[in-house]
Chains A and B, each alone.
Chain A
């Protein structure tokens, strides 16, 4: 009984880590520019496809394909930000939602054109497959790997934002972009870099999730709502909030589907509605 609870908890954390990595870039850029970018999930999908392409066609090992997915998607997201999104800062939420959902539709069709509409076969090294006896529990190796990678990334991000010079600049831009600009910071550049890193992380999340969640052209539509929930419940512009929301959501989803399958996704949506009514700026969001 206890072992099953711990296993469910662990699987939820692994899933939550994926949601966190997928959403964190969106959270920070939304906090900074108030730009609602639903195409974040398309970046994740692209990351998954990049990983599949380089491992299968060029024979590059799985671990090496992860940084490639990060870099490629980072560059793509930077290009999209510079050519399209830049013109829509300062427009209302709905305009941005519609623009980016249009891009999501287009990305789905483009990916279908190149890779077809079916699920991609994902090959991970043998040391990442199967199960592992750990601390008296039987855990899936791939999920252990996810928790380790996600944990390391979370620590690196929090440390980077709290302790480095660039992190301080990013926080200044999130808190008050106008004042930051007036102090001589190149907010445009800061935003572009942050956006690229956030997009890259989304790509990395897609590459990491391909083995667990599967990758097909409908990936963005399946995870769009989850990413939105993580960002809004956690609070825009906060890394810790996004992490907490991702983990809570991941655990609630896995536990909900395991223990009360009749309720399904209801638990998560109900949590979202209650949190949004109670704290419209999210759990960790700062009120004004």
Chain B
């Protein structure tokens, strides 16, 4: 490659992006395994449905935290907006699920974009407090306006029509699982394309060295609101999926507890990988299920303990730690 050829850098760029976008075997196996679970007899499909939805939710946070370095302590706000949007549509006659999901995503995305505009100049503790504060405000409103939202009892009477007019949501969660998996896979493809695009690279650059990215002419503040909007829309989709598959919304969908849980999931799984979110959701929900059955009162001790251990010894989370391990084994 010589500097005299003006086409060379563009060609090199094209080659770079097509090489990072290539699918690995691990990725194909991962999604094939999720699909295969559907065919396993007696598989706990409702639990796996939860895992997929939590994975999507954590993946949306990964776009913010892993790729742009914005820690949000209030990400459940967007999950809740999506959940309530889908719930209201279903309650007041708009029962078609896919358009309901899209509507919930657009609404959450717009509010997320506005939030991104608001926070694009703050960082550190102030950023944590603003996102937390906005989350708490929203929770407080929903919690108190019980005539509108059902308060603690949640939104009852949500009706969701069959997917594509063909597949009804059954009590075994079979339709729910496939529907959640399909939506999650599509949104994963979007997120994957995004982080492997020049935009994704600009996000990573701004995470590592914002000042330098400004010097290079990257509109880093505009990028913050853009990625915030996208992440919020995906969180909204996760919320809408939860509503549509359970036909119920409670204020717990936008509680601080949920914001904390999704952070824990992402940190356990590992940030900046997209897959970390799903692995974290798997580990977290299975552990929670198992520990809660083992000791209904003390299981939070073990969640806390796990968090401390992960932060102390596997600071990068499960997926990146495994990658490092695999690389070391291959070198031998």
Contacts from A to B (Cβ < 8 Å): 36, 84, 87-88, 91, 93-95, 97-99, 101-106, 108-110, 112-113, 117, 225, 228-229, 232, 236, 262-266, 269-270, 272-273, 276-277, 280-281
Question: In the docked arrangement, what's the CA distance between A112 and B123, Å?
Answer: 36
Chain A residues near B122 (CB-CB < 8 A): 276-277, 280
B307 touching A99, Cβ below 8 Å: yes
B125 touching A95, Cβ below 8 Å: no
Q: A112-B297, A276-B129 are in contact. Are A105 and B307 (CB under 8 A)?
A: yes
Chain B residues near A101 (CB-CB < 8 A): 260, 304, 307
The minimal Cβ–Cβ distance linking B24 to chain A, given in whole angstroms, is 28
The minimal Cβ–Cβ distance linking B27 to chain A, given in whole angstroms, is 27
Chain A residues near B128 (CB-CB < 8 A): 93-94, 97
B101 within 8 A of A: no
Chain A residues near B256 (CB-CB < 8 A): 225
The minimal Cβ–Cβ distance linking B260 to chain A, given in whole angstroms, is 7
B interface: dominant SS: helix
Chain B residues near A263 (CB-CB < 8 A): 144
Question: In the docked arrangement, what's the CA distance between A262 and B143, Å?
Answer: 10
Contacts from B to A (Cβ < 8 Å): 65, 71, 73, 118-119, 122-126, 128-130, 132-134, 136-137, 140-141, 143-144, 256, 260, 263-264, 267, 297-301, 303-308, 311-312, 315
**25 A-B residue pairings within 8 Å (CB atoms):** A91-B315, A93-B128, A95-B311, A95-B315, A106-B304, A106-B305, A108-B301, A109-B301, A109-B304, A225-B132, A228-B129, A229-B129, A229-B133, A232-B126, A236-B125, A264-B140, A264-B144, A265-B136, A266-B141, A270-B137, A273-B134, A273-B137, A276-B130, A276-B133, A280-B125
The minimal Cβ–Cβ distance linking B206 to chain A, given in whole angstroms, is 16
* Most A CB within 10 A of own CB, among B65, B125, B306: B125
Question: In the docked arrangement, what's the CA distance between A32 and B140, Å?
Answer: 34
Chain B residues near A108 (CB-CB < 8 A): 300-301, 304
A98 touching B263, Cβ below 8 Å: yes
A99 touching B312, Cβ below 8 Å: yes
The minimal Cβ–Cβ distance linking A152 to chain B, given in whole angstroms, is 30
Q: Please, which residue of chain B has its CB at the minimum distance from the CB of A279?
A: B126
B297 touching A117, Cβ below 8 Å: yes
A87 touching B140, Cβ below 8 Å: no
Q: Please, which residue of chain A has its CB at the minimum distance from the CB of B307?
A: A102
A87 touching B312, Cβ below 8 Å: yes
**Residue in A98, A272, A273 whose CB lies within 8 Å of B264:** A98
* 17 further interface pairs, Cβ-Cβ under 8 Å (given A93-B125, A106-B305, A269-B136): A88-B311, A93-B124, A99-B307, A102-B304, A102-B308, A106-B304, A108-B300, A109-B299, A112-B298, A225-B136, A262-B144, A266-B137, A276-B126, A276-B133, A277-B119, A277-B122, A277-B130
Question: In the docked arrangement, what's the CA distance between A276 and B123, Å?
Answer: 10
